[in-house]
Amino acid sequence: MITFEKTLSKQEMDTLVVGIFQQTQLLEGVLKDINEQLDGYLSALLKSGDISTKLKKLTSVYTLGKLPVKRLLFVGLGKKQEWKREKAQEAFAKVFQSIQEERKEEVAFLLDSFVNDHVPSTEVSYIAGETYALSTYKVKDYKNKSNVPEKELKAIVLISKEDHSDLDDAFQTGLVYGKGTNSARTLVNMPSNLLTATELARYASQLAEKYDFELEILEKETMQELGMGGILAVNQGSVEPPKMIVLKYKGKKEWENAIGLVGKGITYDSGGYSIKPKNGLMNMKTDMAGAAAVLGAMEIIGELEPEQNVVAVIPATDNMISGSAMTPDTVITTMSGKTVEILNTDAEGRLALADAIYYAKQHKATSIIDVATLTGGVVVALGTHTTGAMTNNEALFEQILEASAQTGEQVWRLPIFEKDRDRVRNSQMADLNNSPGREGHAIMAGAFLEAFTDGTPWVHLDIAGTATVNSNGLLGPKGATGVMTRTLALFVEQYEG
């Protein structure tokens, strides 16, 4: 699908995309040749402002048979010295979305026109691959008259004088990251009646099959034997059986220094007896976005095979109401032995995650990252562009922050102080309570989870605000974002433990 050329080939092409910085002079390279073949017409159009250099602005110039390409599609890149990764993503997204709308089957890029000192050609190639996947993603719907089958792009040609095998590697890696993110999006967008815990487990087992991961799926009976009172309490009101999904990727000779990736897999969150108001019930099919991010990251890991050990643990169940559902005033015993007084059945994620974190430790995870749509509180605190983080280990957090800076998935830390821990421990009946009240409740959730890490280095990522968007954007449509898929995978690739 992706091919490379050193220069504009003789063979007829439909569209050649050219990045154009402010004050570009057509003095050298392919563009100079093209300009000459067009009798200096390009430099005239640039001078008169008819070809816009404003970031993301598109200008079509038809070549009327004078070149082996029908059309030049210029995309404005703004000031060359301000060119960076995020802008490149947006510019490429704009181009891919426009090409998709036009139902083109092939497109060529003059890759070297997108390069400056901060963004080398390999990076541009990576961004092209990643952005192609992200920006053209479509949400699968269930309409009888379904979205007209999009014509897929059959060929992308990258024209560059740089080493083609490096560019190819970069493009393919970008594509893997983009596709893994899209897989996560698809899981999150799926209706909750179709994506049950059983289906999520089936999906994970297919992933295990494809990438040769070790697979373990704990059924309810085994959870009972193991004393997983957290996830079982959440599942108590449901007719759907719970699943504890475990995937192991072994990238080292010995099973040591394993990274634990734990993802909240609540396939639907009604709130339970502490039922949500009717607006709050909307979109609660997305309460498994943490699980989806972990599975998306595992797909990327399976493709790229980094030299790391990774164990993914996903507690999967819905949170429903019935005569057998847990109620406030219940006291449960988690797998760790710690008891919890239930004050709010809508604070269910932390109960399921408590067992999953403990179980990841039993699988010898020595660092744990959990990802969860855990609290409305984090949305109030940080909004919808920034994932909230909490940690018990500075060095591990730095590694997550570093990866997130590279992927552009913003992360900001919230504190856990001793007085926060006191509030979580404040129960007359049990070791912990699951809901100390609305003040700082994103932090309360973090402090609760921390109690189950027992000192194992851990970072908690609360994606309640970032897992979905409510309008179409350049890097993806309305609905699931697949947030943290890329950050988790990159973190794993770069992990130093």
Q: Which residues contribute to the site for ligand BES (CB under 6 A)?
A: 269, 287, 344, 346-349, 373-377, 435, 441, 464
Between the two ends of the chain, the Cα-to-Cα distance in Å is 37
Q: Which is nearer to Mn ion, 299 or 346 (CB)?
A: 346
Number of residues that bind Mn ion (CB under 5 A): 3
DSSP string, 61-86: EE-TTSSSEEEEEEEEEE-GGG--HH
Task: Clarify whether 276 is annotated catalytic.
Answer: yes
Q: How near is the Cβ of 480 to Mn ion at its closest, in Å?
A: 18
Output the six-digit token pair for 345: 């059945």
Q: Which is nearer to Mn ion, 346 or 409 (CB)?
A: 346
Q: Which is nearer to ligand BES, 299 or 318 (CB)?
A: 318
Q: Which is nearer to ligand BES, 421 or 441 (CB)?
A: 441
Q: Is there a contact between 460 and 370 (Cβ–Cβ < 8 Å)?
A: yes
The vertex-213 CA angle with 207 and 218, nearest 5°, equals 85
d(CA 346, CA 319): 8
Cα 266 from chain centroid (whole Å)? 17
> Residue 76 pairs with which residues in a beta bridge?
20
Q: Which is nearer to Mn ion, 130 or 269 (CB)?
A: 269
Residue number with the smallest Cβ distance to Mn ion: 346
Q: Which is nearer to ligand BES, 120 or 328 (CB)?
A: 328
Q: How many CB atoms lie within 10 A of CB 415?
A: 11
Which residue in 90, 112, 287, 355 binds Zn ion (CB under 5 A)?
287
Query: Under the criterion CB under 5 A, does residue 462 sit at the interface with Mn ion?
Result: no
375: partner contacted, choices Mn ion, Zn ion, ligand BES, none (Cβ within 5-8 A by kind): ligand BES
Query: Under the criterion CB under 5 A, does residue 130 sit at the interface with Zn ion?
Result: no
Which of 94, 61, 96 lies closest to 76, judged by CA?
94
Q: Is there a contact between 119 and 85 (Cβ–Cβ < 8 Å)?
A: yes
- For residues 82-141, which are near Mn ion according to CB under 5 A? none
Q: How near is the Cβ of 3 to Mn ion at its closest, in Å?
A: 49
In Å, the largest CA–CA distance within the chain is 85
The vertex-165 CA angle with 160 and 167, nearest 5°, equals 50
Q: How near is the Cβ of 152 to Zn ion at its closest, in Å?
A: 36
* DSSP 8-state symbol, 476: B
Q: How near is the Cβ of 376 to ligand BES at its closest, in Å?
A: 3
Residue 58 identity: L
Residue 194 identity: L
Query: Under the criterion CB under 5 A, does residue 341 sit at the interface with Mn ion?
Result: no
Q: Which is nearer to ligand BES, 89 or 373 (CB)?
A: 373
Q: Is 212 left (phi over 0), alpha (psi -120 to 50) or beta?
A: left
d(CA 200, CA 220): 15
d(CA 48, CA 490): 44
Query: Under the criterion CB under 5 A, does residue 269 sit at the interface with Zn ion?
Result: yes
Which residue in 5, 130, 346, 370 binds Mn ion (CB under 5 A)?
346
- The secondary element (H helix, E strand) that includes residue 309 is strand 309-319
Q: Which residues contact 288 (CB under 8 A, 6 or more apart)?
A: 187, 188, 195, 200, 263, 264, 265, 266, 267, 316, 373
Which residue in 19, 349, 440, 476 binds Zn ion (CB under 5 A)?
349
Q: How near is the Cβ of 377 to ligand BES at its closest, in Å?
A: 6
Q: How near is the Cβ of 361 to Mn ion at its closest, in Å?
A: 24
Spatial strand order of the sheet with 331-333 comes to 331-333, 339-341, 432-433
217: partner contacted, choices Mn ion, ligand BES, Zn ion, none (Cβ within 5-8 A by kind): none
464: partner contacted, choices Mn ion, ligand BES, Zn ion, none (Cβ within 5-8 A by kind): ligand BES
Task: List the catalytic residue out of 56, 80, 276, 425.
Answer: 276
Options 129-137, 158-166, 194-202, 348-356: segment touching Mn ion (CB under 5 A): 348-356
Q: Is there a contact between 226 and 315 (Cβ–Cβ < 8 Å)?
A: no
Q: Which is nearer to Zn ion, 73 or 195 (CB)?
A: 195
Q: How near is the Cβ of 348 to Zn ion at its closest, in Å?
A: 6
Q: Is there a contact between 89 and 28 (Cβ–Cβ < 8 Å)?
A: no
- For residues 209-268, which are near Zn ion according to CB under 5 A? 266
Residue number with the smallest Cβ distance to Zn ion: 269
- The secondary element (H helix, E strand) that includes residue 297 is helix 289-304
d(CA 169, CA 148): 33
Write the binding mask 287 to 326 for Mn ion: x where contact by CB under 5 A, - elsewhere. Answer: ----------------------------------------
> Residue 157 pairs with which residues in a beta bridge?
3, 108
Write the binding mask 261 to 280 for Mn ion: x where contact by CB under 5 A, - elsewhere. Answer: --------x-----------
Q: Which is nearer to Zn ion, 251 or 376 (CB)?
A: 376
Residue number with the smallest Cβ distance to ligand BES: 376
Number of residues that bind Zn ion (CB under 5 A): 4
Q: In b/e form, how buried is each residue of 200-214, taking b as 16+ CB within 10 angstroms?
A: bbebbeebbeeeebe
Query: Under the criterion CB under 5 A, does residue 318 sit at the interface with Zn ion?
Result: no
Query: Under the criterion CB under 5 A, does residue 370 sit at the interface with Zn ion?
Result: no
Options 32-40, 180-188, 346-354, 398-406: segment touching Mn ion (CB under 5 A): 346-354
Task: List the catalytic residue out of 350, 361, 421, 486.
Answer: 350
Binding site for Mn ion (CB under 5 A): 269, 346, 348
| Residue positions annotated with a catalytic role | 276, 350
Binding site for Zn ion (CB under 5 A): 266, 269, 287, 349
